[in-house]
Amino acid sequence: MKVTSSREGVAVVVTALASGAALGAFLASRYLRTAPAPAAGGRSRSRSPPPPGGHQPPLPDFVEAALHNSPTSSSSSSSSSSTDEGWRLFYWPGMPGRGEFMRLLFEATGTAYEDVFAEKTWREVAPLNYAPGKPFFAFPAIAHGDFFLSQTPVIIRYMAKRLSGGELYPRHERDRYQAEMLLAGVVDLVAEGHDAWHAIDKNGGYLQQKEETEPFVQYYKTKRLPKWLAFFEAALQRNYDGRAFFIGQELSYVDLCVFHVLDGIAFQCPEEWAASQVPLLKAFHERIASLPAIARYLKSDRRFPFSGTGPIF
């Protein structure tokens, strides 16, 4: 199948090869048309549409308080000792998702943080998506004192350099570039998984498109996931034969990020994970989960269960 379209004078060519008509239809829908409206029925975690007429609804008091660094009574914090400037995490409540990368860094270093929306609902938090002038684009976002950041890899690097004296940030320049490469792989793997489980409507709920996305989920499981697992297995093996960490001989932010991805894959794709020939990664997953700080966190009520709507989510 070959489809050609012109957008603003630029030809977009999509070719479906061995993957067959289903993938071809997906690619065509992604590049050549507007996604259809979600089917009726089923629960969704999609964001609410903006109000008509361009009028912005007032933000809930707890959102205003969070943005202005006021304490809230509904937040969830780690029990570790506090920091001078204070750390706050802004992420969708009730799920690990991309916010879990930040939680793991906080927990591994014993850093106190406020999970601002932990006890709220999606409906309560959604107005922040349309808040004019908010200091970040989308979740996840963090605030360190009055300094806000969004974009997952940027947040992770910022935190790794600062938490617990920078102990999660590689010390040597070459190791830092290697860590950057592996983090970019993590981001790509997560994005591919999200897009497979939300192939029809990226902003829609998974349950609303579950049947239609099944071919893309299977393609991810059988074609893309094995390649990513093999890549991370080889990367781990190159560092001291895969006996400990991905970078050097100390725990780094990369280890925690890869752990979260593997943990999500083991939950979301249990058969594929069990059948995968990646013994080093499986041992690594167990090793990180058994670190005292991580083990305590995984058993705590601060840890949200996976929702079954895609790897890490």
Global confidence as pTM: 0.78
Residues 62, 74 contacting (CB under 8 angstroms) = yes
Question: What was the pLDDT predicted at 118?
Answer: 96
Place of tokens 């089917």: 39
Report the distance separating Cα 208 and Cα 41, nearest Å. 7
Q: What DSSP state is assigned to residue 119? A: T
Can you give the pLDDT at residue 16?
36
Q: How many residues does the chain have?
A: 313
Residue 127 is predicted with a pLDDT of 85
The whole-angstrom distance between residue 267's C-alpha and the CA centroid of its chain comes to 15
User: Looking at residue 276, what DSSP letter applies?
Assistant: -
At 196 the pLDDT is: 96
Q: What pLDDT, on a 0 to 100 scale, did the predictor assign at position 137? A: 85
Cα Rg, the chain, nearest whole Å: 21
List of residues 6+ apart from 3 with CB closer than 8 A: 13, 14, 24, 27, 28, 31, 32
Computed from CA positions of residues 150, 155, 158, 164, in that sequence, does the dihedral angle turn out positive or negative?
positive
pLDDT of the residue at 181: 98
Residue (of 125, 110, 101) closest to 77 by Cα position? 110
Digits of tens for pLDDT over the chain (313 positions)? 333 333 333 333 333 333 444 444 443 443 333 333 433 333 333 344 444 444 555 666 766 666 666 444 334 555 443 344 799 999 999 999 999 999 999 999 999 999 999 999 999 998 887 677 888 888 999 999 999 999 999 999 999 999 999 999 999 999 999 999 999 999 999 999 999 999 999 888 999 999 999 999 999 999 999 999 999 999 999 999 999 999 999 999 999 999 999 999 999 999 999 999 999 999 999 999 999 999 999 999 999 999 999 999 9
pLDDT at 109: 98
CB-CB contact of 183 with 169 (8 Å): no
Which two tokens mark 140?
Answer: 């996840």
Token readout for 288 is 């990180």
Nearest to 248 by CA among 167, 155, 152: 167
DSSP 39: P
Neighbouring C-beta atoms of residue 222, cutoff 10 Å: 11
79 is written with which tokens?
A: 């029990």
The domains located in the chain, with CATH, are: 2-32 (no CATH), 60-166 (3.40.30.10), 173-298 (1.20.1050.10)
The pLDDT, as a whole number, for residue 60 is 61
